[in-house]
A and B are shown apart, each in its own frame.
Chain A
Amino acid sequence: MPNVIFNIDYLLDLVGSRLEKEKLKDILYKLGIEVEHEEENSLTLEITPNRPDLFSVVGLARYLKNFLHENRNFHYNIIKESKQPELNLIVNSNIKKSKLFIHGFIAKDIKLDDNSLADLFNFSEKLSDTLGRMRKKLSIGIHDYDTIDKTVEFKLSSDKKFIHLKGTEPELFSEVLKNTEKGKAYAQALPKTNMFPILEDTKGVLALIPIINSKRTAVSKKTTNLFVEVTGTSEYSVKKINEMLAITLHELGAKIYQINISDGDKKYTSLNFPENYITIPVSQVEAEIGIKIGSKNIISLANKMGYEAALLDKKIRFSIPAYRIDILNEQDVIEDIAIGYGYDYIVLTPVPSIIKGKLLDSTIIFNRISDAFIGAGFTESLSTYLTNEEKNFTKMRMPTPNKKDYILLKDSKSSHITMARTHLLPSLLHVLSLSKHEKLPQKIFELDLIFSMHKNKPIEDYHIACISTNNKQNFNDIKSTIYGILLSLRISFSIAECKHDSFIEGRCASILINGKELGVFGELHPTVLRNFGIEEPSTAFELSLSFI
């Protein structure tokens, strides 16, 4: 989840209310925003990825202002009319190969200071890292408008030189990718072509997209007029983030102007802020939350959460703010009403039960089997399902089978986890290998899942297994235990002589149920014991419970 650092003084300045820090934290919790880390004058907040509008101090301040009834403003009709188009952006036809879209706007007469400038840069970084998937899907450029021509071209270019933001000498694009921090970090976000997407005017390159801007158009505190551009592979996201940035800059005091974009025959202006409404019956809002709230209260809760709302014949029409890109349907709006109401105040109402609950048959039977093992003096163990070939096969004296025959993990972060276990005994032997100094006899069992492949399909099967370690014991001891337990569980079975790599030859037997060989028991082979560092004779048993 994205973590964003907020300067508390700056935030409260924008909110226009001197809240106590504790009160602020309480309101944030109620809004579902968790404090990840706290310092004297800053809060690191976990902002959920559905609310990119809150990645900026300005956005969070807007949210809090509405919530606290301070200077609410629902009007995003923020565009200044200008007779002449402020800027013409020409999209070269070769850009189609890159599958990139572009939008932008001009923000004039803005007064930036350290706080607002940092917020603006952090905001665009967070947006392009998260929503923009590390700039693959979306990236943002902010330029000093006064340094550029009125006509800018967006195109794919061959490798050429420009002075990038942090550079001093002209460098080739390909060098910028290799030599700069941003180049290394975001080169993988470049479209898959051998050309470079750039913005260019008659004076030269404005930006290598989505990597880095030029030095010429760099923005500082002294900059008063900005050209903001958003590029990316999702036309919708590019358009919406462009709107979100325009609203943010408007709230920082800028005058916002549209730009003209011509893309072949298509000519359009950016920033249209289409009206977006969701209309929901009052009864549906109340039914989903489970409380009678009333239309008047719903409207005031909607305002609190930043929506303009109006009652239209038992229905409420919510106007969706342009910066709320997360609202898909009425459920999203109802959630906001519930948050406005306060989760802490929602009265509890039970769901009636019409039937008695029932456990799975396997739960009941497996508990019975476990009880029988506990009765026979075995302590229950529980292990991870993931293991490796050495532990699962080699240490058990078994050849590692063909990779098609078991579940194999891809790219595990831990080198000793490579596969899903195919039987339980290695897990139990592992426990005993850690227990050398414990009192004898050591008797443990496990009843849990194992994994295999059958006809290219994964199989998840329950097994039961036990091991008994003691200074003296033999085949007949484990046989006696197994007979005692299986007979008490009324499981009908027969046994037959068998060969098994993990057991001493002539001292193990297979268990057959309904004629199918499902289990094995006997004296563990001394090599197996030594492989697990066990120094006393041990007998073992493992049975598939697939017959249940």
Chain B
Amino acid sequence: MHKYELAILKSLQSGKSKTPEQLMTEVSLGKDELLWAVENLSNISLIDIEREKELTITFFPEGEVYANSLLPEDSLLEKLKAKQKIEMKTLTFEKDKIALQWCIKKNLAQVKDGFLVITQLGEKHKVPSNESIFLNSLSKLSSLPKTLTSEEKKSVDEFKSRKLLEIKEKNNIISIKISKKGSEFKDFSDSEHIDELTKEIILNKNIDSLKFKKYDVSVAVPSEIISMRHPLRSLINDIKVTFSQMGFNEISGPIIEPSFWVFDSLFVPQDHPARDTQDTFHLSNPEFLDIDEKEYLKQIKKTNIKAWKIKWNDNEAKSAVLRTQLTSVSVRYIREFVKEFAKDKNQLLPKKLFTVGRVFRNENIDYKHLADFYQTDGIIIGKNLTLSNLFDTLSTFYKAFNVNIRFKPAYFPFVEPGAEIFAQLGEKGEWLEIGGSGIIRREITGIKRKDISVLAWGLGIERMLLLKDKNMKSITEYYNSDLSWLRSRELS
């Protein structure tokens, strides 16, 4: 037993209950030491403690600012009441965004044609509001009053969820008394038990005769924070390892491409709506990119004109975009293969290649939608390849992730036959589309030999997360997540 604990026990032997302040002077201990020792003694039931609950308030800096002025929605509403409407473009500061969010949430204002306008509820809402006044009065208190109206309780909950302040329950000790077990305690010689092991003890003392103070193994301690990989990155690594175990070589390619590699070479006609800025990110710098493969350009141009009966526009092919799928990388490698094959017909076949990377869609970003996400794309170039081979390769890949798949006929302009891949959510869950696949059209590969063909697929990686992470609310949580999210991931 620690010497502080022994001193406290001794001073309580009389049986009289004492306040912590009395004990501090009697055994001459600081507050922290005393409370530590008292808790220890209470844990082993040598003393009885009487406590009183207190709810302490701690303000966060953001809350303090509001307490000294107004809640942000009140400030914004005040302005709005004066001006009637505010142009949305002008609300760019972080604090404006917060205010805006709360005004809309509380239905005090709404957005109309790019302007923020006040609602009926907003008109009635007085500034400063009861909440603002209440927040100000709280900032002057150290603990929460025992009686609160239901409205005030609701406000406290809101302040907590907005992280303006923190309410902590504190159990203050008001009196301490020896217990029955404590009054029977005799062994005051326990002071020889060792608390902390030191270098000096290890080197100099007779270790066999030592006694160590016991720890209560059930006492709660904070968990240490573990640094870890991002779960999406772990999944990507698993995917890469799985493909390489299946005999695939990893490849990579550019994100910023002329439309040629993203659309024309994949047989997406030049007037197809998917190419519009509505769906695809075009760039204003660089606006156009050169297509270095002049021969291939000629071939693809001819093929597209023939199949789609369209007028070809060179600038449309050169228009720089952020790739919308990864097959652009595969097509570049098929092109390399065709050139090498023309020189050396004894290439080792099949060639199995895969790539992982990000693709982009011009989306309205919100809590459910992102503009960039990951895909993995793969191809097999080989002799006498079949649809059966394609289905087997993908089934084998997904088996490594315990995912059951099924194929549905589907249309992608650059493959024929084409198949969509569906995975089952859970044992009997719904079937979810997770990717597309097929045998690439000869017009695109430009491989003359009829016995050599190319199997290809593109798979969504975020969709695989959905199959793995049952708690996932939305894919957006995997990007730009806060530290508390990053720290609470499972290691996998």
Contacts and interface: CB of A to CB of B under 8 A. Distances in A.
Interface in B374-420: 380, 382, 384-389, 391-393, 395-396, 406-411, 413, 416-420
A49 B233 contact: no
A409 B255 contact: no
B439 A349 contact: no
Nearest to A288: B386
A97 to B, nearest CB: 16
Given A357-B244, A409-B284, A438 B250 contact: no
A254 B453 CA distance: 45
Interface of A: 29-32, 34, 48-51, 133, 136-137, 234-237, 284, 287-291, 328-329, 331-332, 334-335, 338-339, 343-344, 346-360, 362-363, 367, 370, 373-374, 376-386, 390, 403-404, 406-414, 416-417, 420, 427, 430-432, 434-439, 442-444, 449, 451, 453, 456-458, 460, 533, 535
Interface of B: 60-61, 92, 94, 163, 225, 227-230, 232-233, 237, 240-241, 243-252, 254-256, 271, 273, 277, 281-287, 289, 307, 309-310, 320, 322, 348-350, 352, 358, 360, 362-365, 370-372, 380, 382, 384-389, 391-393, 395-396, 406-411, 413, 416-420, 439, 441-443, 450-451, 453, 455, 478-484, 486-487
A373 to B, nearest CB: 8
B389 A456 contact: no
Contact of B244 (A338, A359, A414): A359
Given A343-B407, A344-B406, A456-B286, A288 B277 contact: no
A287 B386 contact: yes
Given A370-B229, A458-B320, A349 B417 contact: no
Contacts of B240: 359, 363
Given A331-B417, A409-B284, A343 B408 contact: yes
Contact of B480 (A355, A384, A442): A384
B227 A379 contact: yes
A104 B482 CA distance: 63
Contact of B416 (A237, A332, A420): A332
30 contacts: A34-B408, A48-B410, A136-B271, A288-B386, A288-B453, A289-B386, A328-B441, A329-B442, A335-B416, A351-B352, A351-B392, A354-B349, A354-B350, A357-B244, A357-B249, A360-B250, A360-B252, A374-B229, A379-B227, A379-B483, A382-B478, A384-B370, A385-B372, A386-B372, A404-B285, A407-B285, A411-B362, A412-B281, A413-B362, A460-B255
Contacts of A376: 227
Most chain A beta carbons < 10 A, residue from B384, B389, B478: B389
Most chain A beta carbons < 10 A, residue from B230, B241, B350, B451: B230
Contacts of A344: 406-407
Contact of B479 (A288, A383, A408, A444): A383
A335 B408 CA distance: 12
Contacts of B289: 458
A346 B246 contact: no
Contacts of B247: 353-357
A291 B441 CA distance: 20
B388 A291 contact: yes
Nearest to B450: A284
B479 A384 contact: yes
Nearest to A419: B285
A343 B409 contact: yes
Nearest to A237: B309
A350 B285 contact: no
A180 to B, nearest CB: 24
A473 to B, nearest CB: 16
Contacts of B246: 353, 357
